[in-house]
Amino acid sequence: AVTVTTMLVRIPIPASQGYLNFGDIMIMLVAVLFGPLVGGFAGGVGSALADVIGYPSWALFTLVIKGTEGVIVGWFSKGTTNYGRILLGTVLGGIVMVLGYVSVAYVLYGPGGAVAEFYNDIVQAVSGIIIGGGLGYILKKRIGPILE
């Protein structure tokens, strides 16, 4: 699901040779609902597969960054329907994702690439927090015991 969501909408970012996508919505949704192991696997492997198809030079970085994002969101969300805890997890996961990609872009492409990456990753993180985290919270409150 993460690979498909990531590939459906891809807006290229020439300065960082990456792309804006909506995979973070699915990563956060899956991590909220299924916890850190599934969230980490879906985030890391699902997103890395999308990069292998479109931007292979980023695939290994994506595996680590998005996998970590999924683990963090899932860890904070596991066993709870507390909105504050789920929100904290999605925000921290989003921060880790943004810092991870900006750091890699800075090393690979310099300050210009890092700035371009930052703005696009903020959009991805915020959309993931609001849509993925919000939908995950709503679904978990309704069907949570079935999922964990």
Convert the pLDDT of each residue in 79-93 to its tens digit. Answer: 999 999 999 999 999
* Domains identified in the chain, total number: 1
- Separation between Cα atoms, residue 50 and residue 23, nearest integer Å: 9
Tokens describing residue 129: 């927090």
Convert the pLDDT of each residue in 93-145 to its tens digit. Answer: 999 999 999 999 999 999 998 998 898 899 889 999 999 999 999 999 998 75
CA atoms within 13 A on the CB side of 70: 31
Convert the pLDDT of each residue in 62-76 to its tens digit. Answer: 999 999 999 999 999
pLDDT at 110: 95
Locus of tokens 């999924």: 70
Residue 98, classified by CB atoms within 10 Å of its CB into exposed (0-12), middle (13-18) or buried (19+), is buried
Residue 18 to residues 14, 27, 30, 112, 121, Cα–Cα distance (Å): 7, 18, 23, 13, 10
pLDDT at 119: 86
CA atoms within 13 A on the CB side of 21: 25
Residue-number span of the structural domain to which 40 is assigned: 2-147
pTM of the complete model: 0.87
Question: Looking at residue 91, which CATH number applies to its domain?
Answer: 1.10.1760.20
